[in-house]
Chains A and B, each alone.
Chain A
Amino acid sequence: MNIFQQKWMTNALFVILAAGAVAPLFAADTRLPQWIEVVLGGLMSGVLYSLVALGLVLIFKASGVFNFAQGAMVLFAALSLVRLMEKMPFAVALAVTVVIMIGVAWLIERLVLRPLVNQEGIVLFMATLGIAYFLDGLGQTIWGSDVYTLDVGMPKEPKILLENVFEGGILVGMEDVIAAVIAAVLVGLLALFFQKTPTGRALRAVADDHQAAQSIGIPLNRIWVIVWSVSGIVALVAGIIWGSKLGVQFSLQLVALKALPVVILGGFTSVPGAIVGGLIIGLGEKLSEVYLGPYLGGGIENWFAYVLALVFLLFRPEGLFGEKHIDRV
């Protein structure tokens, strides 16, 4: 009965969301090309949310920790890259940054996770809070706290598509398209890694049951270093894309906070959930800002994600794709 009810709830939520998305089309003053532009813009910023959320999901899956420091990791990675690029070519700087992120993962495992093994989830969460502030300070101490522009050679000028279908065509930022492609590739690779490789399987095993994983000889310490490294690299990718869009600055970290509603929507344990959740939030934000803004007084973009997350917490706390808690009675 319960399962039926929840399925029904999910479907209903989907229908309501979809209805909300197409509703503007029926308003008298909406033009189709403009709507498409808004939708595309929403999806593009959604991809960026997804990237940050992905890092969160990875760590949560493998260690059951909600990593509050994910935003700080994005900022730290982007800062490292941008400052290193002043001294060396992009490819080298990228490689060095990857090494730095792996180093950070190693240090976190050594100094924070290892002493706290088998502690409550909340204790580990508090520890990541500490990591967030530490990385923040460290990044700004080493790399400086100015706003830096990150130029990795992404095309900035927008393109006009479908000119012969609509009058004036549709304006699409090429930068956004590239970002979306990168994110899609990254997600595909991660899904393969988790589902098909022995290490991925071990990661999922650790996520399910630390102790059992230990009892069959899976070395927890190594698994943690791997998973924090991977999510550090995901943070780097997110940092590059965000950074080249907004400039590398402290506020990157705050944008990363949007990843929290994304994972609530998609489910804490689901890689596809992080993607779909990001897209829904990006889309919903832009659409509601443009079409509801005039009636509600604007600024919707800032709270929309959180309200949506609240609705999900009420009706489907495990998220759209989250693993159900399996209880044997």
Chain B
Amino acid sequence: MNAIPRAEEAKPLLEVNGIEVIYNHVILVLKGVSLNVPEGGIVALLGANGAGKTTTLKAVSNLLHAERGEVTKGLIEFRGERVDRMTPSDLVKRGVIQVMEGRHCFAHLTVEENLLTGAYTRGASRAEIRADLERVYGFFPRLKQRRGSQAGYTSGGEQQMTAIGRALMARPSMILLDEPSMGLAPQIVEEIFEIVKNLNTQEKVSFLLAEQNTMVALRFADFGYILENGRVVMEGTAHALSENEDVKEFYLGISTAGRRSFRDTKNYRRRKRWLS
């Protein structure tokens, strides 16, 4: 295990320690990823396509099994309890829920029915569920307007809200949010991230957030990890990361050195590739 200094002092809510994930018994996707999510934190998981962000989230929520993936090494602990052999259903009951990439609403169910399915594992009373539904509508007033329409016919932003709202109905203490900005207009992305921030401060929901839109993610997160080729190559507070020259160069597309010719950039990138 590589001895990366941890930024958080207190016992983290979620602790992922050196996990290795193999798909189909042969494809090694994660090569020892370690990360922590503190209670009440928003942690961003950044990186390019295929870096292993989604796999990391699915390893935590245990949705890997359905895709013939397997955690072969390492340890995942939630509130100090090992969770890497639990079913997704057990994890949801313990408060960890994933909002999948691409939203995955139930297209033929109405928006409200979508939300109600989120409460399936709780076995709560009708009144309680009603109250929660209103709470979710409080965060997403738009969904209240669209409550009766089939989710398949709502807009991308509304579907993303439905997916997050549905997860909220399970009363999670932690949401694994995969690529919430995918395919959405910048304005909607902003709206969704505002809601995430609100949920975090008002409902004390912690987030582990996989995102390609580094700029937005770092603005709303407290802490970030950068993944490349199945390894964590850099970590730090959101502020530190957004100030880092390499991050700026690779992920934010800003550089302080002024304009350079394309050939220089290419050479620079090749030289500075992390860990390759």
**B 102-148 contacts with A by CB, 8 A:** 104-109, 113-114, 116-121
Cα A172 to Cα B107 with chains together (Å): 45
- Contact yes or no, A213 B117, CB < 8 A: yes
- Contact yes or no, A212 B88, CB < 8 A: no
- Contact yes or no, A118 B113, CB < 8 A: no
| Residue A214 interfacial (CB < 8 Å) | yes
- Contact yes or no, A209 B106, CB < 8 A: yes
User: Given the complex, which residues of B lie within 8 Å of A269, measured CB to CB?
Assistant: 108
State which of A210, A211, A218, A323 has its C-beta within 8 Å of the C-beta of B117: A218
State which of B68, B93, B99, B153 has its C-beta within 8 Å of the C-beta of A215: B99
For residue B68, which residue of chain A has the nearest CB? A118
User: Given the complex, which residues of A lie within 8 Å of B117, measured CB to CB?
Assistant: 201-202, 205, 213, 216, 218
User: Main secondary structure on chain A at its contact with chain B?
Assistant: helix
- Contact yes or no, A214 B106, CB < 8 A: no
CB distance from A213 to the nearest CB of B (A): 7
- Contact yes or no, A211 B66, CB < 8 A: yes
**Known: A201-B117, A217-B92, A218-B120. Contact between A211 and B106, CB under 8 A?**
no
User: Given the complex, which residues of A lie within 8 Å of B153, measured CB to CB?
Assistant: 326
User: Given the complex, which residues of A lie within 8 Å of B97, measured CB to CB?
Assistant: 215-217
Range for the number of chain A residues in contact with chain B:
20 to 34
User: Given the complex, which residues of A lie within 8 Å of B32, measured CB to CB?
Assistant: none
- Contact yes or no, A215 B88, CB < 8 A: yes
CB distance from B25 to the nearest CB of A (A): 15
For residue B119, which residue of chain A has the nearest CB? A198
| Residue B216 interfacial (CB < 8 Å) | no
- Contact yes or no, A212 B106, CB < 8 A: yes
State which of A198, A204, A217, A328 has its C-beta within 8 Å of the C-beta of B106: A204
For residue B176, which residue of chain A has the nearest CB? A215
- Contact yes or no, A217 B121, CB < 8 A: yes
User: Given the complex, which residues of B lie within 8 Å of A328, measured CB to CB?
Assistant: 152, 156
| Residue B17 interfacial (CB < 8 Å) | no
- Contact yes or no, A217 B89, CB < 8 A: yes
| Residue B71 interfacial (CB < 8 Å) | no
- Contact yes or no, A212 B66, CB < 8 A: no
Range for the number of chain B residues in contact with chain A:
35 or more
Cα A202 to Cα B118 with chains together (Å): 9
**A 173-227 contacts with B by CB, 8 A:** 198, 201-202, 204-205, 207-219
User: Given the complex, which residues of A lie within 8 Å of B152, measured CB to CB?
Assistant: 326, 328
| Residue B167 interfacial (CB < 8 Å) | yes
**Known: A201-B116, A202-B117, A211-B100. Contact between A219 and B106, CB under 8 A?**
no
User: Given the complex, which residues of B lie within 8 Å of A212, measured CB to CB?
Assistant: 100, 104-106, 163
- Contact yes or no, A118 B66, CB < 8 A: yes
User: Given the complex, which residues of A lie within 8 Å of B43, measured CB to CB?
Assistant: none
**Known: A198-B116, A201-B117, A326-B150. Contact between A215 and B109, CB under 8 A?**
no
| Residue B181 interfacial (CB < 8 Å) | no
- Contact yes or no, A216 B166, CB < 8 A: yes
| Residue B63 interfacial (CB < 8 Å) | yes
User: Given the complex, which residues of A lie within 8 Å of B170, measured CB to CB?
Assistant: 216-217
User: Given the complex, which residues of A lie within 8 Å of B88, measured CB to CB?
Assistant: 214-215, 217
State which of A118, A198, A211, A326 has its C-beta within 8 Å of the C-beta of B107: A326
Cα A214 to Cα B86 with chains together (Å): 13
| Residue B192 interfacial (CB < 8 Å) | no
**0/1 per residue, A141-185, Cβ < 8 Å to B?**
000000000000000000000000000000000000000000000
State which of A208, A214, A216, A219 has its C-beta within 8 Å of the C-beta of B66: A214
Cα A213 to Cα B121 with chains together (Å): 11
| Residue A117 interfacial (CB < 8 Å) | yes
User: Given the complex, which residues of B lie within 8 Å of A117, measured CB to CB?
Assistant: 66
- Contact yes or no, A216 B108, CB < 8 A: no
| Residue B229 interfacial (CB < 8 Å) | no
**B 54-73 contacts with A by CB, 8 A:** 61, 63, 66-68
- Contact yes or no, A326 B121, CB < 8 A: no
- Contact yes or no, A215 B108, CB < 8 A: no
For residue B113, which residue of chain A has the nearest CB? A201
User: Given the complex, which residues of B lie within 8 Å of A204, measured CB to CB?
Assistant: 106, 108-109, 113
**A 302-329 contacts with B by CB, 8 A:** 323, 326, 328
**B 65-89 contacts with A by CB, 8 A:** 66-68, 87-89
Most chain-B CB neighbours within 10 Å: which of A208, A216, A219? A216
Q: Apart from A209-B106, A217-B89, list 4 A-B contacts with CB within 8 A.
A: A117-B66, A211-B100, A216-B97, A219-B87
A contact set with B: CB distance below 8 Å: 117-118, 198, 201-202, 204-205, 207-219, 269, 323, 326, 328
21 examples of A-B residue contacts, CB within 8 angstroms? A118-B66, A201-B113, A202-B117, A204-B106, A204-B113, A208-B106, A209-B105, A210-B66, A213-B106, A214-B63, A214-B88, A215-B61, A215-B63, A216-B118, A216-B167, A217-B88, A217-B92, A218-B89, A218-B120, A269-B108, A326-B152
B contact set with A: CB distance below 8 Å: 61, 63, 66-68, 87-89, 91-93, 97-100, 104-109, 113-114, 116-121, 150, 152-153, 156, 163, 166-167, 170
